[in-house]
Amino acid sequence: MSASPTSKPRARRQTLEARPYHHGDLRRVLIDAALQLAAEGADVSVREAARRAAVSPGAPFRHFPNRDALMAAAAEEAQRRFRTEIEAALGDAPAADPLLRFRAFGLAYLRWAMRNPAHFEIISTGRYFAHGSSVELTRDNAELIALTEQMLADAAAQGLLRSADLKPIQIAGRALVYGFARMNLDGHFPRWGVEEGEIERMAEEVIDLFIAGIAKR
């Protein structure tokens, strides 16, 4: 009965193609649309996200004060996925050897960045929104950094490192993986992608080279 085309507009939610006036969870759908657009390589516009959510161009601004806020929310979601994968990799790594854990961290970092370049870009580049505007993003990132600092401190405590000055090691390590990820992102690895896994293999070599460079031997 409710499927009758002549029924009054109330209870219209039952018919599949007629979306109810209120969207289920527009905020979430907009974030997903933004991430999807980025992953497709398209430039992310609020209007296009609204279009994908089948909603008017002004609707997103009920949930985000401006475009940057949408991008920041998308970045937070991407960062959450990133962090989840990193922590899974660390869960599989041996607890005893800090340098192996360091290696596992770097590998997981680069693997994710290689496979989700656009999301990595949103997280890292600070161009889509003011860099300190998302406290969650900042805190999350700080925690990951603290993780690597702890691993390096453990390694030093076990006498595994050649130098006791941890700060340059920490910075260099971050710069190395960050730079590798961004080189891939910015198109500085011209034709490697043709053979699948070539870049990830090179990432592994580079990480091992770095660890060999800082390790005592």
- Determine which residue in the list 66, 125, 150, 158 makes contact with a second copy, applying CB under 8 A: 125
Cα dihedral sign for 68, 72, 75, 77? negative
Picking from 180, 16, 22, the residue whose alpha carbon sits closest to that of residue 114 is 180
Tokens of 122: 């949103």
Q: Which is nearer to DNA, 18 or 157 (CB)?
A: 18
Binding site for DNA (CB under 7 A): 9, 13, 20-23, 26, 44-48, 55-59, 61-63, 65-68
* Least distance (Å) between residue 153 CB and DNA: 42
Phi, psi for 215 (deg, rounded to 5): -80, 145
Q: What is the residue whose two structure tokens read 């990432």?
A: 203
129 belongs to the binding site for a second copy (CB under 8 A): no
Tokens of 156: 């030093």
Picking from 40, 37, 48, the residue whose alpha carbon sits closest to that of residue 74 is 37
* Least distance (Å) between residue 128 CB and DNA: 10
163 belongs to the binding site for a second copy (CB under 8 A): yes
Q: Which is nearer to a second copy, 30 or 123 (CB)?
A: 123
Picking from 26, 184, 169, the residue whose alpha carbon sits closest to that of residue 120 is 184
Picking from 65, 81, 75, the residue whose alpha carbon sits closest to that of residue 44 is 75
* Residue 179 binds which entry of a second copy, DNA, none, CB below 5-8 Å type-dependent: a second copy
- Determine which residue in the list 116, 124, 134, 148 makes contact with a second copy, applying CB under 8 A: 124
- Determine which residue in the list 14, 175, 193, 216 makes contact with a second copy, applying CB under 8 A: 175
**Under rule CB under 8 A, how many of the chain's residues touch a second copy?**
36
Q: Which is nearer to a second copy, 87 or 208 (CB)?
A: 208
**List of residues 6+ apart from 151 with CB closer than 8 A:** 98, 99, 101, 102, 105
Binding site for a second copy (CB under 8 A): 124-127, 131-132, 162-163, 165, 167-169, 171-172, 174-183, 186-188, 202, 205-206, 208-210, 212-214
